[in-house]
Structure 1
Amino acid sequence: MDRKKLAFALVMCGLTLDNLSVSAGFTMTDSLEEKLHEDYATVSWVISSYSLTMGAFVILTGKLGDIVGLHVVYITGLVVMGVTGLIVALVPKAIPLIIFRAIQGIGGAALVPTSFALTASYFQGKEMASAFRYLVLSRTASFGLGTILGGAFSETSIGYKSYFYFHFAVSVACLAGLTFFVVKVPPHKVVKLRDLDYAGSIFLVAGLLLIILGFTEAGTRWDSPKVYVTIPVGVIVVVGVAIYELVIIERLKAKWPDGAFGRMAVMFPSELGTVELYIASCVSGLFVYCAYATTILSLLQFHMDDGDSPLIASLRVFPSSVGIILCGLAWRPHYTKGMDPRLVVVISTLICLGMSIWTWRFRDGEYWRYELVSLFIQGFSLSVFFQTTFLIMLQKVPMHLQANANGIFQTFGQVGISLGSAVIVSIIGQDASKLVTNVKRCFYLAFASYAAVIVMFAIDIAWDFWRGKTELKQEPKAETEV
């Protein structure tokens, strides 16, 4: 096997650890409560602490990858994931476990943006399109696989610990392989680590921590100061960093292009704003991640509260992952050759909306009618959506900004997942006697999220036609045909 292809296979395998770490937690809460002798409020932070730091650090780690070398940041993240996985399996107390899960989240933040950037660095043309399909497949399908693994490992004698031993083993295997086969990607030729916008980085991480923390706390009480104070403050801080870098720093760069400001590496590069459909893809990623998380997690919670074991409940929602996997294997970008990618996004999202409405009709004893097929079709359509949006980034974002751009995209997605999770916990937890009604209420957020994506891209298409731009935006042929 080609060295680059072998390295890519190991990178792809390591990437799955991120979504596995998130979704496995959803079906391990009972085991965590039993083994740690803690209540749900405490063990939920074992799950949330990972998402908190992962979402807060992913832009920074992406930028570091572009500066010091993608393979350096990726392998560092893999080491952190492996070491913390072993520690979490061995630690018998909740508080240190929460702390090390938070550290593990930083490792996950290092894996995600660098994986996509490494793919863009390793391959070109048809090979890149093919590799990217498999990367999206592993990234999205691992979310569903994680719920099954979490439920399955919880059934063992040592409970949740067995999952983290598995997590450690996968990390070590990938790390051992990459030690021999990694293809090094040289760091940026001009920008150095000393040129990083350290002040902006610190405030950005702090702002994102506040936003995700606020949504995490919202699952318990939306009227708490931990929610209505932290989220707005976090948004203000993040927007402030963006304005500082996009306006003030850009003016200083123009004034002193050869000085320190001229070389400064910012978290929000102005070049990304000129990349066609990049901002729209990021915003749509937030809504789609939110809708998908809401659909899957609400059904998962319903089936567990209705008497299914975590393993059986996760198997019930697994058809969505099967759809993602089959689409990843069968779909080829040239199937939509000649179509505006925005139209592909609208159609795939419209199908997701229709299937989520059909799933919303679920009831006891009618799983085969309302959930099985609709979840499969929704997963298939989601894969088309992600392949389209990720391909936009791989093709149109400059190579030296690939990890940074993907980090921003993943941050939007993480906020969407946090919002969906908060809504589910706050609604379903209100009254156990109204389980079905409350789960159906959660679906309204999924409907609204999918609809927002459809409206956003439809307006953009209509605006171009109104201005007389009747030619479809087509992807470069060499890049999309596989």
Structure 2
Amino acid sequence: MIFGSIVKAFIWARTVVPEEKRNVFVVFGIILSASALDNLNSSSSLTLAADIQKRFNTDSSTATWVLSGYALTLGSFIMISGKISDIIGSHNLFLIGLGVFWVSALICALIPDTSIVALIVFRAIQGIGASSLIPSTIAMAANYFSGSLAKYLNGMIVCSILALTATIGLGVVLGGAFSESKIGYKGFFYFVFAYSLVCHIALIFLIIPIKKTESHNKLKMKNIDFVAAFLVIAGCLLMILGLTEGGDNWKSPKAIAPLIVGFFTFLSALAYEYFYIKKYQIKHDNEDKSTNWRLQVDLLFPPEISKIPNVYSFLTIRGTYFATTIMLTAIGVQTFTLIDHEPPIVAAVKAFPLSIGLVFGAFIYRDSYYKKVGYKNMFIISSVLSLASIIWFSCTKFDTVNSYWKYNFIPYFMFGYSINIFFNIYMPLVVQSTPLHLQGVVNGIFQTSSQVLLSVGNALVPSITGNLEKAYTFEEKSYIQKKFRSVLYVMIGFHAFVVLLMVFAIKDTTKSIQPEKKEKEIGDEKIDEKVDLEKQPEATEKFESSVDILSNKIV
């Protein structure tokens, strides 16, 4: 009875505000605010971990599982969530995921300080909810800002980049602030609960449903490749588990076995789809599909992804940037805490210039300038700046006067700006090259790559540095700084590889997006129309009419 009443109330709320009265820019702004909670949650653990360890009276390895449990399920389920968002509608999955997110946050805040296992479990559940947010956000951007609103798409993607990346620094600051308060880590979870609940309520009333194309309607839940889905989830769970355990001891069977088994499990999903299902479908293309389940299966790894310019290089570079961003943030926070003896909130503020660089890059971004310089040249500039900033950061000397201002402040800012250059180009190219009905799953594939490599970054820092404590003597500080430099040298190697990819593997994409045929629905009538991404139709003068076009004619 209670569940039925909740469903009726939900359906009523979805119809209170007429669709033609809903403002697409306001709605998408709320969506971005909610999707920002993902990195906010991930990065906050860098400064909340010590408080969690203290309040639960546990060791640092157990405390870090509050972060690892979230990352484990987020990275494992995000590709499947992207596929489901394409089937049931990205707006529907976003609301479901956000509901799971705030309920889990409330439970995490209410758990007593005697049961860290329960906290880890509900953080893992929260990660499943978060896995629905990011793929759905990008899919909604592609669908909302098409047709007469297509000229706003690049701007909305830039806003998405800010929501998904710049909040890393904000999360570190918030985690540090709450760790200094009497309520501690619980205060952060209460904040996340209240924030996400407000966004959820607003979106229940205002969210604009995605208008499905004919290709959308062909997607069915029963046709998901459940075998590949199981293999992907199992493979990612095992790989991230192995990477997490590797942070403590790479020689441990608990690290090596899951990592190897997970890697080959993930590869088996690819092999199953491409060497069995896809070949079978090609061979039996003329047969009646209704009687053979193999002919009805929708591939989890759609063949269309190979048509995206530089897709495999983009997957590698994006993941590397995510990994090194979290590594550079962690190294800075630990340097300021263990060597400089700064409180968590001050250490977090010192690392914040990285996020400022991201925001700065977004504000000065002009696609016309990027095209004039050339996308490939801008990619190379991005990689060279990021490499230079890490080399500069590695020169840090704790015994130098104003060491932070000489070796950390500018490199942080420059690193944030450099990776923003890459995201400003790569994300619009991927979105514009992907059919509307595959936006969720394609973004899920990119997010999976990022989460796995981010876990690599998380694991490398503690595995290289070992267990560290505050340093008081010159020798102790020199020892910690030497460990941190070893991490930075690994990062230099990563970014040298990125430079090589940018120079030799990336093809110039400035003119790679050509006008293509896209199916458009107007009521029950379907027409084919040429879509020129360079010259989109002008928006109507009145904003209300633009919303009307969006709600009735979204491709």
TM-score when normalising by structure 1:
0.94
Who is 1:110 aligned against? 132
- Unpaired runs of at least 5, structure 1: 465-469
Paired letter, 2:117: I
Who is 1:372 aligned against? 409
Paired letter, 1:391: P
Alignment of 1:286-305 (within 5 A): 286-305=319-338
Who is 1:273 aligned against? 306
Which of 450, 456, 460 is the aligned partner of 2:495?
450
Deviation per CA, 1:387-414: give whole Å up to 9, x if none.
1111111111111111111111111111
Paired letter, 2:246: A
C-alpha distance in 1 between matches for 2:89 and 2:222: 14
For residue 264 of structure 1, report the CA deviation from its aligned partner. Answer: 1.4
- Residue 121 (1) aligns with residue 155 (2): no
Who is 2:346 aligned against? 312
Paired letter, 2:534: K
- Residue 175 (1) aligns with residue 197 (2): no
C-alpha distance in 2 between matches for 1:88 and 1:318: 26
C-alpha distance in 2 between matches for 1:367 and 1:350: 22
Secondary structure (helix, strand or coil) at the match of 2:64 reads helix
Which of 381, 394, 400 is the aligned partner of 2:437?
400
Who is 1:197 aligned against? 225
Moved more, 82-91 or 232-241: 232-241
Who is 2:360 aligned against? 326
Secondary structure (helix, strand or coil) at the match of 1:342 reads helix
- Asked if the contact 2:178–2:184 (Cα under 8 Å) also holds between the matched residues in 1, the reply is yes
Secondary structure (helix, strand or coil) at the match of 1:337 reads helix
- Residue 152 (1) aligns with residue 180 (2): no
- Residue 77 (1) aligns with residue 110 (2): no
For residue 72 of structure 1, report the CA deviation from its aligned partner. Answer: 1.1
**Percent identity, aligned pairs only?**
32
Who is 2:545 aligned against? none
Alignment of 1:371-390 (within 5 A): 371-390=408-427
Secondary structure (helix, strand or coil) at the match of 1:477 reads coil
Secondary structure (helix, strand or coil) at the match of 2:203 reads helix
Instruction: Assess, with a 3 A threshold, how the Cα gap between structure 1 residues 164 and 215 changes in structure 2: closer, same or farther.
Output: same
- Asked if the contact 2:166–2:359 (Cα under 8 Å) also holds between the matched residues in 1, the reply is yes
C-alpha distance in 1 between matches for 2:31 and 2:131: 14
Secondary structure (helix, strand or coil) at the match of 1:325 reads helix
C-alpha distance in 2 between matches for 1:389 and 1:436: 35
C-alpha distance in 2 between matches for 1:321 and 1:166: 21
Moved more, 426-435 or 182-191: 426-435
- Residue 56 (1) aligns with residue 76 (2): yes
- Unpaired runs of at least 5, structure 2: 1-20, 470-475, 514-532, 537-555
Who is 1:344 aligned against? 378
Paired letter, 1:412: S
- Asked if the contact 2:309–2:512 (Cα under 8 Å) also holds between the matched residues in 1, the reply is no
- Asked if the contact 1:81–1:107 (Cα under 8 Å) also holds between the matched residues in 2, the reply is yes
Identify, as 1 or 2, the structure richer in helix. 1
- Residue 94 (1) aligns with residue 104 (2): no
- Residue 220 (1) aligns with residue 248 (2): yes
RMSD: 1.9
Who is 2:534 aligned against? 477
- Asked if the contact 1:341–1:473 (Cα under 8 Å) also holds between the matched residues in 2, the reply is no
- Asked if the contact 1:217–1:226 (Cα under 8 Å) also holds between the matched residues in 2, the reply is yes
Instruction: Assess, with a 3 A threshold, how the Cα gap between structure 1 residues 449 and 152 changes in structure 2: closer, same or farther.
Output: same
- Asked if the contact 1:246–1:270 (Cα under 8 Å) also holds between the matched residues in 2, the reply is no
For residue 61 of structure 1, report the CA deviation from its aligned partner. Answer: 0.2
- Asked if the contact 2:371–2:510 (Cα under 8 Å) also holds between the matched residues in 1, the reply is no
Paired letter, 2:426: T
Instruction: Assess, with a 3 A threshold, how the Cα gap between structure 1 residues 175 and 473 changes in structure 2: closer, same or farther.
Output: same
Secondary structure (helix, strand or coil) at the match of 1:167 reads helix
For residue 366 of structure 1, report the CA deviation from its aligned partner. Answer: 0.7
C-alpha distance in 2 between matches for 1:244 and 1:6: 43
- Asked if the contact 1:49–1:102 (Cα under 8 Å) also holds between the matched residues in 2, the reply is yes
C-alpha distance in 2 between matches for 1:240 and 1:340: 39
C-alpha distance in 1 between matches for 2:249 and 2:106: 33
Who is 1:354 aligned against? 388
For residue 173 of structure 1, report the CA deviation from its aligned partner. Answer: 0.9
C-alpha distance in 2 between matches for 1:420 and 1:136: 20
Instruction: Assess, with a 3 A threshold, how the Cα gap between structure 1 residues 296 and 478 changes in structure 2: closer, same or farther.
Output: farther
Paired letter, 1:448: G
Secondary structure (helix, strand or coil) at the match of 1:27 reads helix
TM-score when normalising by structure 2:
0.82
Deviation per CA, 1:174-232: give whole Å up to 9, x if none.
10110111011145211200001111111110000011111101110010111211111
Secondary structure (helix, strand or coil) at the match of 2:395 reads coil
For residue 474 of structure 1, report the CA deviation from its aligned partner. Answer: 4.9
For residue 233 of structure 1, report the CA deviation from its aligned partner. Answer: 1.1
Who is 1:419 aligned against? 456
C-alpha distance in 1 between matches for 2:133 and 2:101: 9
- Residue 441 (1) aligns with residue 441 (2): no
Paired letter, 1:305: L
Secondary structure (helix, strand or coil) at the match of 2:249 reads coil
C-alpha distance in 1 between matches for 2:364 and 2:444: 27
C-alpha distance in 1 between matches for 2:467 and 2:203: 48
C-alpha distance in 2 between matches for 1:221 and 1:133: 39
- Residue 141 (1) aligns with residue 178 (2): no
- Residue 208 (1) aligns with residue 243 (2): no
C-alpha distance in 1 between matches for 2:261 and 2:326: 25
C-alpha distance in 2 between matches for 1:250 and 1:82: 39
C-alpha distance in 1 between matches for 2:82 and 2:211: 15
Paired letter, 1:165: Y
Moved more, 383-392 or 7-16: 383-392
- Asked if the contact 1:338–1:474 (Cα under 8 Å) also holds between the matched residues in 2, the reply is no
- Asked if the contact 1:85–1:167 (Cα under 8 Å) also holds between the matched residues in 2, the reply is yes
C-alpha distance in 2 between matches for 1:230 and 1:340: 43
Moved more, 160-169 or 254-263: 254-263
Who is 2:58 aligned against? 38
